[in-house]
């Protein structure tokens, strides 16, 4: 029996970290094959609601297993994690309503905590909250406004996410006609603010037309729907573009267009989406997603690849059935969510591996041929999914809210009110890979991934490897050069026809990114998650042009990301403070701590203590010297939190003052408290002792830093230490401004994709 099945080494690492069953000691007690059997069996149970033929149930279960075993389809992460387990929460996307009352606001926070605890992401519209400084008649006080309450939601997410297998992610949306729209546009101006939210502006068709015509538009008080002012639409449009140019936020959604696609308007208007924007949902509604791996939908004929349309249709039918079954067996975090989800039975079948498919077909991503194929592929998926849903409805019945729906008006009896969504596939793409994410072009063609026992594995885009060997220019040295940052477009040994096909995300203009999104949107019921990559040199006018093109071509929303527009700025000192700092030090005869640079990198380690899980962040300067320590305790508050902060400050002061880290470790190690614990087989006597253990490990990793630095330039280097990763991240940041942070799990560089931060090295995703 092959317990590992077809999974790549990196997929197995990701599965062990987050998906496979663990015992109470955190030890993996399930193989990848057992995971797929667990999921297949749990989802196939729904068949018993509609047939008494046990052989048919077993046949469907086997088909589900084989579809996933062959990496042809993968459901969203909560389904892989939770199906067949006691928790049983299988959906990724939720929208929670926020009404204009204190009771509703804190009910929403409670609902959010319960959803995040089970691995779901949440979206909110804050458009119903009255503007800041509005009078509250019941108390005589004034309202705090949407941004203030969004910060409360952000803090709640930060607290809840510490213990989960998936971190809580949120979407915050505000209508452009809300009186607080200007504050909302600017609310993430400083990096790190409201960090657990993506934010988007809901733009109306009326606003877009007035922006084009340079007219004023009305601001509406959500409390009484009265006009309370006006703004110049073009100036607001320009402001949105300028902030998106600065750091990628806010995104925009075309809210009227989303509601034109609302399949059940009688149930209410769509006001928000899930965190990455691809799933518009009604209040207290969820949707379960899954993606077909297009790189597996090919067949080879006479040394050429073609699309296997029959296989694509077969997998589409089976995946549609799978996702409909998920609705029946799902254990929803709130009864109201279960009721509303079953009422509309929305599913979101999407794709991954689009770029990989194009590469095997030798079709450039930025070509009309690719656009035409995108429409043909997505049209086939939607039409086949509709046929299967209609077939399911004959046996299982239509969705309960069918009467009055768009399907009722068309006279089509169908099982699911929506069928297709194109979602981010960062983690499930690794599991089903190597394959490209969603409909994105490849960001890299070769890269190093962290696999077992600290080994770094060179992972090569399968189509590029195939073509390189076919064309005769393949070599391990060439692949390593690409992984270290050399551009394929600048390599003389690679033929021009190959360069034309294998452009990466930053080689493709925003025009083609948007055309591709629009092509898929044409045959997608819900929406499309995609990042529109812009060069660092792109202007605010380029952002505005992207917005206008997406509106013109029929997209439901757009997120832009200008290369290098985000950095890591935990703490900064302004010019006045810097000058004063220099003056104070020059007049002092005593040692003074080194000033903090604007950008600094580090790693965060989770360690179990008697007081709870302690998160210790150790930062290093650009030379690899230890510089500062931050600590956070999941459960801590009051005195415990203040003591941890004090220890962190003093350790940081010692480091910046030149004290040897080994001496700091000696002072902290062995300090005892009344509640010792065990972590990875070692006794942890106290929080101070835990900090010492982390520092001690970092010192060992950091040993002989000059040699490690040399190894970071050596393509044969195998070391996988935080110090090594730190230096690699520094080098990557110098080579590519697309690096936007450091992975909290492996210390390698993060990048921005599909509205989220992802790590190519280990598969971590913030969302």
Cβ atoms 172, 198 nearer than 8 A = yes
Element (H, E) at 671: none
92 vs 570, which has greater pLDDT?
92
81 vs 458, which has greater pLDDT?
81
Going along the chain from its start, the domains and CATH numbers come out as: 93-273 (3.20.70.20), 575-759 (no CATH)
Catalytic residue among 72, 271, 278, 440: 278
Based on the residue annotation, tell me whether 274 is a catalytic residue of this protein.
Answer: yes
Q: What is the pLDDT of residue 697?
A: 85
With a cut of 70, say whether residue 571 has pLDDT above it: no
Q: H helices within 187-273, ranges in order?
A: 205-212, 233-247, 255-260
With a cut of 80, say whether residue 746 has pLDDT above it: no
CB neighbours (10 Å) of residue 314? 16
Based on the residue annotation, tell me whether 325 is a catalytic residue of this protein.
Answer: no
Q: What is the SS3 assignment for 21?
A: coil
- The arithmetic mean of pLDDT across residues 6-13, rounded, is 89
pLDDT digits (tens, 9 = 90+) for 682-698: 888 888 899 998 988 88
With a cut of 90, say whether residue 642 has pLDDT above it: no
Using CA atoms of 643, 647, 648, 651 in order, give the dihedral in degrees to the nearest 10: 170
pLDDT digits (tens, 9 = 90+) for 246-301: 989 999 999 999 999 999 999 999 999 999 999 999 999 999 999 999 999 999 98
pLDDT digits (tens, 9 = 90+) for 547-562: 999 999 999 999 999 9
Diameter of the chain measured on Cα atoms: 88
Most confident of 10-19, 217-226, 633-642: 217-226
Element (H, E) at 319: helix 309-329
- The arithmetic mean of pLDDT across residues 501-510, rounded, is 95
pLDDT digits (tens, 9 = 90+) for 651-682: 888 888 778 888 888 889 889 887 788 887 78
Give bridge partners of residue 173 from the DSSP assignment: 125, 200
Based on the residue annotation, tell me whether 278 is a catalytic residue of this protein.
Answer: yes
In our burial notation (b when 16+ CB lie closer than 10 A, e otherwise), range 508-544 reads: bebebbbbbbbbbbebbbbbbbbbbbbeeebebebbb
Q: What is the pLDDT of residue 475?
A: 94
Judge if the upstream peptide bond of residue 434 is cis by omega within 30 degrees of 0.
yes
Which of 50, 123, 438 lies closest to 287, judged by CA?
123
Q: What is the SS3 assignment for 125?
A: strand
Pairing of strands 272-273, 170-175: unpaired
With a cut of 50, say whether residue 576 has pLDDT above it: no
Residue 697 buriedness (CB in 10 A; 0-12 / 13-18 / 19+):
middle
Q: What is the pLDDT of residue 706?
A: 40
Q: What is the pLDDT of residue 603?
A: 84
Cβ atoms 146, 178 nearer than 8 A = yes
Position 166 confidence tier, pLDDT thresholds 50, 70, 90: low
- Helix, strand, coil percent content, the chain, rounded in steps of 5: 45, 20, 40
Which of 330, 290, 286, 319 lies closest to 45, judged by CA?
330
Catalytic residue among 93, 187, 276, 446: 276
Catalytic residue among 10, 274, 416, 619: 274
């Amino acid at each position: 029996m092959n317990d590992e099945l077809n999974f790549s080494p990196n997929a197995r690492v990701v599965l062990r970290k987050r998906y496979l069953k663990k015992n109470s000691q955190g030890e993996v007690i399930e193989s990848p094959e057992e995971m797929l059997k667990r999921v297949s069996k749990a989802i196939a149970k729904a068949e018993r609601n509609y047939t008494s033929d046990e052989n048919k149930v077993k046949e469907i279960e086997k088909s589900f297993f084989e579809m996933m075993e062959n990496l042809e389809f993968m459901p969203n992460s909560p389904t892989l994690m939770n199906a067949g387990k006691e928790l049983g929460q299988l959906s990724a996307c939720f929208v929670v309503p926020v009404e204009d009352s204190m009771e509703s606001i804190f009910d929403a926070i409670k609902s959010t905590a319960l959803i995040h605890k089970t691995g779901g992401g949440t979206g909110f519209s804050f458009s119903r909250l009255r503007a800041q400084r509005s009078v509250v008649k019941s108390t005589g006080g004034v309202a705090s406004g949407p941004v203030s309450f969004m910060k409360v939601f952000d803090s709640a997410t930060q607290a809840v996410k510490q213990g989960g297998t998936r971190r809580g992610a949120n979407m915050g949306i505000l209508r452009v006609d809300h009186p607080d729209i200007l504050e909302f546009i600017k609310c993430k101006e400083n990096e790190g603010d409201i960090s657990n939210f993506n934010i988007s502006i809901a733009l109306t068709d009326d606003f877009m037309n007035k922006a084009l015509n340079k007219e004023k538009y009305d601001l509406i008080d959500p409390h009484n729907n009265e006009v309370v002012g006006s703004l110049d639409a073009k100036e607001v449009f320009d402001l949105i573009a300028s902030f998106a140019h600065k750091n990628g936020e806010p995104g925009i959604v075309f809210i009227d267009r989303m509601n034109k696609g609302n399949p059940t308007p009688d149930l209410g208007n769509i006001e928000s989406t899930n965190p990455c924007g691809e799933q518009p949902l009604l209040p207290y509604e969820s949707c379960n997603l899954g993606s077909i791996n297009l790189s597996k939908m090919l067949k080879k004929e006479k040394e050429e690849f073609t699309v296997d349309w029959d296989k694509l249709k077969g997998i589409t039918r089976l995946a549609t059935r799978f996702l409909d079954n998920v609705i029946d067996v799902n254990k929803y975090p709130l009864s109201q969510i279960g009721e509303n989800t079953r009422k509309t039975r929305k599913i979101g079948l999407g794709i991954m591996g689009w770029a990989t498919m194009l590469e095997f077909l030798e079709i450039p991503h930025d070509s009309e041929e690719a656009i035409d194929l995108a429409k043909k592929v997505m049209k086939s998926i939607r039409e086949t999914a509709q046929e299967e849903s209609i077939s399911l409805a004959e046996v299982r019945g239509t969705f309960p809210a069918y009467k009055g729906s768009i399907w009722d008006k068309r006279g089509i009896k169908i099982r699911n009110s929506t069928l297709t969504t194109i979602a981010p596939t960062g983690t499930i793409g690794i599991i089903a890979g190597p394959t490209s994410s969603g409909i994105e072009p490849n960001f890299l063609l070769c890269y190093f991934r962290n696999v077992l026992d600290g080994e770094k594995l060179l992972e090569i885009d399968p189509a590029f490897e195939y073509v390189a060997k076919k064309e005769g220019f393949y070599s391990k040295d060439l692949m390593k050069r690409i992984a270290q940052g050399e551009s394929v477009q600048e390599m003389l040994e690679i033929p021009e026809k190959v360069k034309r096909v294998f452009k990466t995300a930053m080689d493709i203009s925003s025009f083609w990114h948007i055309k591709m999104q629009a092509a898929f949107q044409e045959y997608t019921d819900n929406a499309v998650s995609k990042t529109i990559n812009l060069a660092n040199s792109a202007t605010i006018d380029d952002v505005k042009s992207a917005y206008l093109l997406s509106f013109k071509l029929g997209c439901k929303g757009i997120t832009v990301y200008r290369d290098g527009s985000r950095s890591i700025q935990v703490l900064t000192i302004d010019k006045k403070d810097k000058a004063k700092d220099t003056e104070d030090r020059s007049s002092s005869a005593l040692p003074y701590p080194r000033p903090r640079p604007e950008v600094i990198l580090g790693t965060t380690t989770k360690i179990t203590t008697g007081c709870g899980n302690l998160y210790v962040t150790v930062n290093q300067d650009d030379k690899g010297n230890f510089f500062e320590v931050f600590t956070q305790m999941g459960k801590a508050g009051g005195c415990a939190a203040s003591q941890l902060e004090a220890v962190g400050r003093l350790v940081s002061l010692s480091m910046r003052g030149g004290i040897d880290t080994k001496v700091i470790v000696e002072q902290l190690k062995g300090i005892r408290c009344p509640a010792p614990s065990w972590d990875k087989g070692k006794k942890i006597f106290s929080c101070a002792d835990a900090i010492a253990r982390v520092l001690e490990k970092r010192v060992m990793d950091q040993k002989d830093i000059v040699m490690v630095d040399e190894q970071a330039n050596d393509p044969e280097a195998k070391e996988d230490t935080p110090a090594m990763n730190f230096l690699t991240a520094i080098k990557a940041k110098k080579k590519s401004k697309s690096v936007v942070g450091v992975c909290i799990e492996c210390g390698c560089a993060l990048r921005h994709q599909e509205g989220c931060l992802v790590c190519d090295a280990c598969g971590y995703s913030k969302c």
